[in-house]
Amino acid sequence: MRLEVQCKDRIGMVHEILKLFVSQRIDLRLVEVDTTNRCLFVGFPDIDFVLLQELLAALRRLDGVEDVKRVQFSSSERETNTLAQTLEALPDGVIAIDVKGNVTMATELAAQDLGVALKDLLHKPLNSFIKTVNFSRLSRSDIDSGFSKRIRVNRKSLLLEIQPINVSNNNEDIYAGAVIHLKSAVRIDQQSERFRRNASDFKLEQYFKSNMVLSEAMMSCMMRAKRFANLSSPLMISGEVGTGKNAILNALVEYWRSHGHEGGQINRKKAIELQTEAELAAFLSNPGWLVIEGVEGLVAPVQMCLSDWLKRNQVDIVGDSVFRRLIVLTSLSSNDMRSHSSFNYELYLHLAQQNLRVPALRDRPDDLDGLANEILSRVCDHLRVGRVSLSKNAVLELGLYHWPGNIAELKGVLYSAVASTDKLILEAGDFDLPTGSKGVALELIEGSLDKTIKTWEADLLRKLYPKYPSTRKLAKELGMSHSAIANKLRDYSIVK
């Protein structure tokens, strides 16, 4: 429990306040004076309610006490936690030491760089972990203008940057320790890459890397998206759960903004949040992009209200020079929506005029390698680890899976794989895919092992041949000779 006592700044004030706690035999855990805001914070274990009421009354009777209230934290606790959160958000590891070289503060990333747990790093001599600099003998003159040194620790090359910590006392700066930044070449490269991205050069196709849009299905989707991007009429983005509908939406908005258009604010609501006509009307009055997720979940009266709104804005939604564009997201196909007994057919007709269907991941086999590597890059950034790549066998393993959860499931599988291993190259066995994920029947065919293996081989080649549409490409991918692959394709009657 913590109390904040607002009081006058006079001699003996703190003594009188603390004497009340002593008289009640209350064990004080925190005493903090905030001279800026003229208050005293007192922390102690929870006490009986009756005793607390008596204590509060006694405190308010003291001469000079203006207010007493319960609080969740003191000023210094708030500042300490704010500082800790700020340091954790930095792209580099940070360590603070005192004049003896003992660690007084450190971030998780710094501990990770040194290969130790954070609790094992705090309050320990930094020289126990970094041997190449004598931190216990550092003086202000050594690092007054900054000091940097390349080191190697925990099998990593790091750049150490040290700055002094000075405390002002009677107009004099006193050396109180140092703050140390741990920079890695990998993180510096990542930051440089993000910095080089120029929004003014943005094109819709560039929202996705080229190796993520190789399949005919995704190229067709992007062509339609580009045609719809500069229009203001309603747009329906449909696709199975996890296909990346929000990524397409973000691409459209960025494309719009990059072409100098105003009104790029996104107002997003889930259908479950729009349960009344009044809630829908308030939502539709906002300027910008009006995004409804899971539009099929709107109740019947709200569907009718939305249909009426679309009728009134059938020609142009820009009325009164305020840009508004309705975007609805749905996991249902056009056929499902037409046959959906509870979905307003007239509303469907309004929305279906511009329908952007995002293909399922199983329909994008050519994009899987690029998608997986892009996801891996982001996962590594999030986990703050070095770049991880996929072996040829790993790509093959991912390509054989059906991916009912689409890109969302792929992200989960790759995140789990990176988080559970220290490997820099993932192999097929590193993925936690459901049993039978290959989609190939494993029962013995006609009691013959030979026929079973040949059936499996034929199914595998039929899946891989469209992805590597020449015997030479397929042979190279599988590590076989060109003639051997040509013979197998002929034996199994596999053609393009």
Tell me the two tokens of residue 389.
């790549």
Q: How far apart are CA 13 and CA 38, in angstroms?
A: 11
Quick one: 199-359 is in which CATH superfamily? Answer: P-loop containing nucleotide triphosphate hydrolases (3.40.50.300)
Distance in angstroms (rounded) separating the CA atoms of residues 482 and 470: 10
pLDDT single digits (tens) 40-52: 999 999 999 999 9
pLDDT band at 438 (very low <50, low <70, confident <90, very high): very low
Q: Which of 327, 321, 259 is nearest to 294 (CA)?
A: 327
Most confident of 146-155, 188-197, 202-211, 346-355: 346-355
Strand, coil or helix: 53? helix
pLDDT digits (tens, 9 = 90+) for 225-253: 888 887 888 999 999 999 999 989 988 88
Task: Pick the most confident of 180-189, 291-300, 314-323, 428-437.
Answer: 291-300
Mean pLDDT to the nearest integer, 53-66: 93
Q: Are strands 425-426 and 389-390 parallel, antiparallel or unpaired?
A: parallel
Residue 124 is predicted with a pLDDT of 93
Rounded CA separation 440/464 (Å): 14
Which two three-digit tokens encode residue 434? 């459901």
Task: Output phi, psi for 477, to 5 deg.
Answer: -65, -40
Interaxial angle between packed helices 449-464 and 471-478, expressed in degrees from 0 to 180 and rounded to the nearest 10: 120
Q: 221 in the Ramachandran plot: left (φ > 0), alpha (ψ -120 to 50) or beta?
A: alpha
Q: What CATH code is assigned to 2-75?
A: 3.30.70.260
Q: What b/e sequence results for 400-432 when a residue is b if at least 16 CB atoms lie within 10 Å of its CB, and e otherwise?
A: bbebebbbebbbebbbebbeeeeeeebebebbe
* pLDDT score of 198 more than 50: no
Question: Which of 263-267, 371-375, 474-478 shows the highest mean pLDDT?
Answer: 371-375
- For the beta carbon of residue 304, count every other beta carbon within 10 angstroms: 15
Q: What is the pLDDT of residues 172-185, one digit of tens each?
A: 888 889 999 998 87
For all residues of the chain together, what is the average pLDDT? Answer: 84
Please say if the pLDDT value at position 443 is more than 80: no
pLDDT band at 355 (very low <50, low <70, confident <90, very high): very high
Helices (H), 153-206: 185-196
- Grade residue 214 by pLDDT with cuts at 50, 70 and 90: confident
For the 90-189 domain, the top CATH level (class) is alpha beta
Write the pLDDT tens digit of every residue in 2-28. 999 999 988 999 999 999 999 989 999
Query: Contact at 8 Å (CB) between 4 and 56?
Result: no
Q: What is the mean pLDDT of residues 67-82?
A: 90
pLDDT category, 200, cuts 50, 70, 90? very low
H helices of 102-243, where? 108-114, 118-121, 140-143, 185-196, 216-229
C-alpha 66, offset from chain centre: 46
* CA atoms of 216 and 129, how far apart (whole Å): 53
- Range ranked top by mean pLDDT from 133-147, 270-284, 329-343: 270-284
Cα–Cα distances (Å) from 440 to 366, 379, 464, in that order, read: 20, 30, 14
**Considering the chain, what percentage of its residues have pLDDT values greater than 70?**
89
Residue 409 has pLDDT above 60, yes or no: yes
Which stretches of 404-492 are DSSP H helices?
406-419, 449-464, 471-478, 482-491
On the question of pLDDT at 332 being above 80, the answer is yes
* CATH architecture of the region 362-430: Orthogonal Bundle (1.10)
Q: Where is average pLDDT lowest: 53-62, 126-135, 458-467?
A: 458-467
What is the chain's alpha carbon radius of gyration, rounded to the nearest angstrom? Answer: 32
Torsion sign across C-alpha atoms 20, 22, 23, 25: positive
Please write the tens of the pLDDT for every residue from 452-490.
777 878 888 887 887 777 888 888 777 778 888 888 888
| Burial (CB count <10 Å: 0-12, 13-18, 19+), residue 235 | buried
pTM to 2 decimal places: 0.54
Q: What are the residues whose beta carbons fall under 8 Å from the beta carbon of 101, sequence distance 6 or more? A: 125, 126, 127, 134, 135, 136, 137, 138
Identify which has the larger pLDDT, 443 or 266: 266
